[in-house]
A and B are shown apart, each in its own frame.
Chain A
Amino acid sequence: MTRPSDVKPREGDQPASLYKDWKVGAEFPPLPFTVTPDIVKEYMSVVDADPKNYVIDGRQAAPPNTLFVYMMAVMYRLYPPQQGGIMLGNTVEFHSPIWADEDTEVIGSGRVTDKYEKKGRKIICYDVDFKRPDGTMIMSVNHMSAFPE
């Protein structure tokens, strides 16, 4: 089992990356992790998910968005987080299910896609892809956040 908190640098634990540190095109090192039935169960409880909405051909699937809780870990391992970040938006594609009754090996990877300042806000955009070890895409995200410094 990989709890996101096991692999995500925590805000305030180490010197934070600042806006000037981000490089457009920088690749995030691959992050392998395992989603277990316990993680799926806990995730469903914290997002008020109804198990009835996740049954595929009679089998209990996990919410595909369970992987959201690993997203920032992929990026923050290259750029440690600062306090006060504000999430602005996400564009997400779901490609294949993960299941609630088995361990799922996942590899997260991604890259910085853009950075700019707008109305005094320092904005960072990045992509994260989540794939199985055989390369099957599970979910991809383009993310946008603003940081104070």
Chain B
Amino acid sequence: MSNDKVEKTIPQTQAMFDNYGKLNGDNDILHYDDAFAKERGFRGTLGHGLMYTGYVCDLAAKKYGKDWFYRGRLKVKYVRGVCPGDNLVVSIAADGTAECKSQFDTTLVGSATLA
């Protein structure tokens, strides 16, 4: 287990949203139809929340190692959308505080800890 902050940056593209949607079968047009998403008040199509939750989990597995598989605890809230062109910085602080931030907003807040 690492007590250090872990972080990575993942530039977001529409192709990433499309590929995640092909796997999970999500056909919600908020992820694919730019005009529909903008009509709903968003900057553009929205990334799948569980896709960038997967980014957080990857860092948690790196931070906690084997323990993460047996007693990992994750709590996330999606506070803003992630859109194509966003430069998403994903981090878990030493105390387990988890966050995703783009150049526009904080998009996810929460924690990744051990029971």
How distant is the Cα of A5 from the Cα of B20 in the complex, in angstroms? Answer: 11
* Chain A residue, CB-CB nearest to B20: A46
Assess whether A87 is in contact with B61, with CB atoms less than 8 Å apart.
no
* Chain A residue, CB-CB nearest to B24: A69
Q: A residues within 8 A CB of B8?
A: 48
Q: Taking A11-B29, A73-B25, A90-B53 as contacts, is the C-beta distance between A49 and B76 under 8 angstroms?
A: no
Q: A residues within 8 A CB of B22?
A: 5
Q: Taking A47-B58, A95-B70 as contacts, is the C-beta distance between A90 and B25 under 8 angstroms?
A: no
Contact with A along B70-95 (1 / 0, CB 8 A): 11111111100000000000000000
Q: A residues within 8 A CB of B53?
A: 65, 68, 90
Assess whether B61 is in contact with A54, with CB atoms less than 8 Å apart.
yes
Q: B5: CB under 8 A from chain A? A: no
Q: Taking A11-B29, A64-B57 as contacts, is the C-beta distance between A90 and B23 under 8 angstroms?
A: no
Assess whether B26 is in contact with A72, with CB atoms less than 8 Å apart.
yes
Assess whether B61 is in contact with A5, with CB atoms less than 8 Å apart.
no
A69's contact among B29, B50, B71, B75, by CB below 8 Å, is which?
Answer: B50
Q: A13: CB under 8 A from chain B? A: yes
Tell me the minimal C-beta distance from B2 to chain A in angstroms: 11
Q: A residues within 8 A CB of B49?
A: 87, 90
How distant is the Cα of A81 from the Cα of B29 in the complex, in angstroms? Answer: 12
Q: A residues within 8 A CB of B78?
A: 86-89
How distant is the Cα of A52 from the Cα of B58 in the complex, in angstroms? Answer: 10
Beyond A50-B62, A53-B61, A91-B74, 17 extra complex contacts between A and B, CB < 8 Å: A4-B24, A11-B27, A49-B58, A52-B62, A56-B69, A63-B58, A68-B53, A68-B54, A73-B25, A83-B29, A84-B40, A85-B28, A89-B76, A90-B49, A92-B75, A94-B73, A96-B69
19 A-B contacts, Cβ less than 8 Å apart?
A5-B25, A10-B25, A43-B23, A46-B16, A46-B51, A47-B51, A52-B62, A53-B61, A54-B61, A63-B54, A68-B24, A69-B25, A72-B24, A87-B50, A92-B73, A93-B72, A93-B115, A94-B70, A94-B74
Q: Which 9 A-B pairs have the closest CB atoms?
A: A47-B54, A5-B25, A87-B49, A94-B72, A69-B24, A8-B25, A53-B61, A10-B27, A97-B69
